[in-house]
Structure 1
Amino acid sequence: MKTTFIHDNFLLDNKFAEELYHSYAKNQPIIDYHNHLSPRLIAEDAVFKNLTNVWINGDHYKWRAMRTLGINEKFITGNGSDKDKFLNWAKTVPHTMRNPLYHWTHLELARYFDVYDLLNEKSASKIYEEVSAKVNTPEYSAQNLLRKVNVEYVCTTEDPTDTLEHHQQIAKNKIDIKVGTSFRPDKAILISADGYNSYIDSLGNAAGVSINTYEDLCDALKKRIEFFDKNGCSVCDHGIDQIYFEEFTEGEVKSIFKKKRENQEITSEEALKFQSAILLFLAETYHEFGWVQQYHLGALRNNNARMHRILGPDTGWDSISDYPQAQKLSAFLNALDSKDKLTKTILYNLNPADNEVMATMIGNFNDGSVKGKVQYGSGWWFLDQKDGMIKQLNALSNMGLISCFIGMLTDSRSFLSFPRHEYFRRVLCNLLGDEIKRGELPKDMEWIGNMVANISYHNAKEYFKI
Structure 2
Amino acid sequence: MTTKFIHENFLLENKYSEELYHNYSKNQPIIDYHNHLSPQLICEDYVFNNISEVWIKGDHYKWRAMRTLGVSEKFITGVASDKEKFLQWGKTVPYTLRNPLYHWTHLELARYFDIYELLNEKTAEGIYEETSARLNSSEYSCQNLLRKVNVKVVCTTEDPTDTLEYHQKMRANGLDIKVSTSFRPDKSILIGLEGYNEYIDALGQSAGIEIQSYDDLCNALQKRISYFNDNGCKVSDHGLEQIYFEEFTASEIQNIFIKKRSNQELSQEEILKFQSSVLLFLSETYHQFGWVQQFHLGALRNNNARMHRILGPDTGWDSIGDFSQARKLSQFLNALDTKDKLTKTILYNLNPADNEVLATMIGNFNDGSVKGKVQFGSGWWFLDQKDGMTKQMNALSNMGLLSCFIGMLTDSRSFLSFPRHEYFRRVLCNLLGKEIESGELPNDMELIGKMVSDISYHNAEEYFNF
Please confirm whether the aligned pair reaches a TM-score higher than 0.5, indicating the same fold.
Answer: yes
Aligned residue identity for 2:107: L
Aligned counterpart, 1:268: 268
Task: Give the deviation of 1:142 after TM superposition.
Answer: 0.3
Whole-angstrom CA distance in 2 between matches of 1:3 and 1:316: 35
Matches within 5 A, 1:11-410: 11-410=11-410
Residues 426-465 of structure 1, C-alpha deviation per residue, up to 9 Å, x if partnerless?
0000000000000000000011001000000000000000
Contact 1:183 1:236 in 2 (8 A): yes
Give the whole-Å Cα distance in 2 for the aligned partners of 1:149 and 1:115.
Answer: 15
Query: CA offsets, 1:316-365, max 9 Å, x none?
Result: 00000000000000000000000000000000000000000000000000
Amino acid at match of 1:49: N
Amino acid in structure 2 at the alignment position of 1:370: V
**1:110-157 CA-partner distances (Å, limit 9, x unpaired):** 000100000000000000001100001000000000000000000000
Residue 416 of structure 1 corresponds to which residue in structure 2?
A: 416
Q: Deviations over 1:63-83 (max 9, x none)?
A: 000000000000000000100
Question: Partners in 2 of 1:37 and 1:222 — Cα distance?
Answer: 25
Letter in 2 for 1:251: S
Question: Does the CA-based 8 Å contact 1:32-1:408 persist in structure 2?
Answer: yes
Residue type at the aligned position of 2:313 = P
What is the aligned partner in structure 1 of residue 460 from structure 2? 460
Structure 2 alignment gaps of length 5 or more:
none
- Which residue number in structure 2 is paired with residue 444 of structure 1? 444
Distance (Å, rounded) in 2 between the aligned partners of 1:190 and 1:464: 28
Residue correspondences, number: 466
TM-score normalized by structure 1? 0.99
Alpha-carbon distance in structure 1 between the residues aligned to 2:271 and 2:136: 48
Q: How far has the Cα of 1:2 moved from its partner?
A: 7.3
Shift, 1:177, TM fit:
0.3
Cα separation, 2, equivalents of 1:271 and 1:462: 38
Q: What is the alpha-carbon distance in structure 2 between the residues aligned to residue 81 and residue 182 of structure 1?
A: 34
Check the 8 A contact 1:393/1:402 in 2, yes or no: yes
Partner of 2:434: 434
Distance (whole Å) between structure 1 residues aligned to residue 15 and residue 2 of structure 2: 25
Q: Deviations over 1:256-300 (max 9, x none)?
A: 000000001001110000000000000000000000000000000
Does structure 2 retain, via aligned residues, the 8 Å contact 1:3–1:116?
A: no
Q: Is the 8 A contact 1:407 1:460 kept in 2?
A: yes
* Separation of aligned partners in 2, 1:238 and 1:369: 24
Per-residue displacement from partner, 1:42-78 (whole Å, max 9, x unpaired)? Answer: 0000000101001100000000000000000000000
* 1:390-446 deviation per Cα after TM superposition (whole angstroms, max 9, x unaligned): 000000000000000000000000000000000000000000000000000000001
Show CA shifts across 1:354-392 (max 9, x none).
Answer: 000000000000000000000000000000000000000
Q: Secondary structure at the residue paired with 2:123? A: helix
Cα distance in 2 for partners of 1:421, 1:131 equals 22
Q: CA deviation at 1:3?
A: 5.5
- Assess if the C-alpha contact under 8 Å between 1:207 and 1:223 holds in 2: yes
In the alignment, is the contact (CA less than 8 A) between 1:2 and 1:116 conserved in 2?
Answer: no
Query: Which amino acid is the alignment partner of residue 51 of structure 2?
Result: L
Q: Helix, strand or coil for the counterpart of 1:163?
A: coil
Q: Which amino acid aligns with 2:78?
A: G
- Whether the aligned pair in 2 keeps the contact of 1:3 and 1:117 (CA below 8 Å) is no
Q: Which 4+ stretches in 1 moved above 4 angstroms?
A: none
How well do the aligned residues superpose, as a CA RMSD in angstroms? 0.7
The one-letter amino acid of 1:263's match is N
- Distance (Å, rounded) in 2 between the aligned partners of 1:258 and 1:3: 67
Amino acid at match of 2:192: S
Matched to 1:361, the amino acid is M
Q: Secondary structure at the match of 2:45?
A: coil
Q: Please list the CA deviations of residues 179-216 of structure 1 after superposition, one character each: whole Å capped at 9, or x if unmatched.
A: 01000000000001010000000000000000000000
Q: Which amino acid aligns with 1:139?
A: E
Q: Secondary structure at the match of 1:122?
A: coil
Q: Secondary structure at the match of 1:378?
A: coil
**Aligned equivalents of 2:239, 2:89: Cα separation in 1:** 29
TM-score (norm 2): 0.99
Read off the aligned partner of 1:54 and give its amino acid letter: V
- Quote the Cα distance in structure 1 between the aligned partners of 2:144 and 2:443: 39
